[in-house]
């Protein structure tokens, strides 16, 4: 199967000879499992560093984002901070890739939608057995939670989707290889997983 979306266009990324493709990544409401899988590309990493430049993300803790070619987004939107980071990514990346069940469908974090935010917080901070000082946390440092957890394409346009929880390393390998070779990625059936 050729997956997952023909919406994007890997060949939009024009580069001068010797110029590296700029990549950024972030983990919104995710578990970093997708990032782990991305790091699992083994010896390809040797090849990749020649062609790709990792300019922002949890791996180097840089926060600033400018003129990025490809943004890799793990995780769903669960709080206001997630929304801001995502908007920043969309505004500054030519291509946006949603990786993992959380980014694509809401995944594990979205399980709270079933109960509602209010019920979840009440159970955790007010009503549960053994709670001392029952109080819903409120602090300027704490991003406020959204009513519902949402997948990212409900808020921004997404160019590519790598499904899976997490997507297999082979899918990242294909994505990066395709970027380097300047062609559309072609994902084999076994790289396109939903669970």
Partner 1 sequence: MEVFERADLAAAVVTAGGQHGNDPHNALQVCLQLQQQFSCVPADAVPMLAHQLHTTTGHITSLVSFYSFLSETPRGLYDLYISDSISDHMQGSRQLLHRLCLALGVRPGEPRLDGRVTVSPTYCTGLCDQGPAGLVNGHPLTRLDDSRIDTISRLIENAVPLDQWPRELFTVEHRIYRRDLLLGTPLERGDALRSIADQTPEEVLRELAASGLNGRGGARFPTALKWRMCREASSETRYVVCNADEGEPGTFKDRVLLADYADDVIEGMTVCARVIGAREGFIYLRGEYAWLRPHLEWVLQRRRGNDLLGDAILGDSNWQFDISIHMGAGAYICGEESALIESLEGKRGTPRNRPPYPVTAGYLQQPTVVNNVETLFSAAHIAARGSAWFGTSGAGGTKLHSVSGHCERPGIYEFPVGCSVGEVVTAAGGDGAIAVQVAGAAGELLLAEEFQRCIDLNTLKTSGSFIIFGPDHDLFTTTANFTRFFAHETCGFCAPCRTGTQLARSVVDRMAAGRAFGRDREAIDRLIDVTPALSHCGLGGTAMNPLRDLRDKCPQRYQALFSEDDTSVLHFDLEQELSEIKTLTGEIPEAEQ
Contact predicate 28/161, CB 8 Å: no
- CB-neighbour burial class of residue 113 (10 A; exposed 0-12, middle 13-18, buried 19+): middle
Tell how strand 77-79 and strand 145-150 pair up.
Answer: antiparallel
Contact between 118 and partner 1 by CB under 8 A: the answer reads yes
Closer residue to ligand SF4 in complex, CB, 32/54: 32
Residue range at the interface with partner 1 (CB under 8 A); choices 23-31, 39-47, 111-119, 168-176? 111-119
* Dist CA 62 CA 133 (whole Å): 37
| Nearest approach, Cβ of residue 131 and ligand SF4 (Å) | 27
- Per CB under 8 A, 83 contacts partner 1: yes
Binding-site string for partner 1 from residue 136 to residue 155, where x marks contact by CB under 8 A and - marks none = x-x-----xxxxx-----xx
Task: Give CA–CA dist 158/98, Å, rounded.
Answer: 7
Task: Report if residue 14 touches partner 1, rule: CB under 8 A.
Answer: no
Is 81 a residue that touches partner 1 (CB under 8 A)?
A: no
CB 195 to ligand SF4: min, Å: 10
For the bound state, the minimum distance from the C-beta of residue 145 to partner 1, rounded and expressed in Å, comes to 5
Closest approach of ligand SF4 to the CB of residue 156, in Å? 18
130 burial (CB, 10 Å; 0-12 / 13-18 / 19+) is exposed
CB of 115 to ligand SF4, least distance (A): 18
Query: Which CB, 140 or 194, lies closer to ligand SF4?
Result: 194
**Cα angle at 155 between 8 and 24, to 5 degrees?**
55
Phi-psi region of 3 (alpha: psi -120 to 50; beta: other; left: phi over 0): beta
The partner in contact with residue 9, picked from partner 1, ligand SF4, none with C-beta cut-offs of 5 to 8 angstroms by kind, is: none
- Residue 128 as a binder of partner 1 (CB under 8 A): the answer is no
Question: Could you tell me if 64 and 26 are in contact, meaning their C-beta atoms sit under 8 angstroms apart?
Answer: no
Q: What are phi and psi of 193, to 5 degrees?
A: -125, 155
Binding site for partner 1 (CB under 8 A): 5-7, 80, 83, 87, 90-91, 105, 116-118, 121, 136, 138, 144-148, 154-157, 194-195
């Amino acid at each position: 199967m050729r997956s997952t979306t023909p919406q994007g266009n890997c060949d939009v990324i024009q580069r001068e000879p010797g110029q590296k493709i700029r990549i950024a990544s972030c983990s919104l409401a995710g578990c970093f499992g997708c990032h782990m899988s991305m790091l699992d590309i083994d010896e390809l990493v040797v090849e990749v560093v020649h062609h790709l430049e990792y300019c922002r993300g949890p791996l180097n803790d840089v926060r600033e984002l400018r003129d990025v070619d490809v943004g890799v987004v793990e995780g769903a939107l669960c709080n206001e901070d997630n929304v801001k980071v995502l908007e920043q990514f969309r505004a500054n990346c030519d291509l946006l890739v949603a990786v993992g069940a959380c980014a694509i469908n809401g995944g594990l974090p979205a399980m709270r939608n079933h109960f509602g935010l209010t019920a979840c917080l009440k159970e955790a901070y007010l009503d549960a057995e053994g709670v001392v000082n029952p109080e819903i946390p409120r602090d300027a440092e704490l991003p406020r939670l959204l009513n519902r957890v949402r997948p990212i394409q409900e808020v921004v346009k997404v160019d590519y989707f790598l499904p899976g929880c997490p997507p297999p390393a082979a899918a990242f390998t294909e994505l990066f290889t395709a970027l380097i070779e300047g062609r559309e990625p072609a994902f084999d059936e076994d790289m396109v997983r939903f669970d």
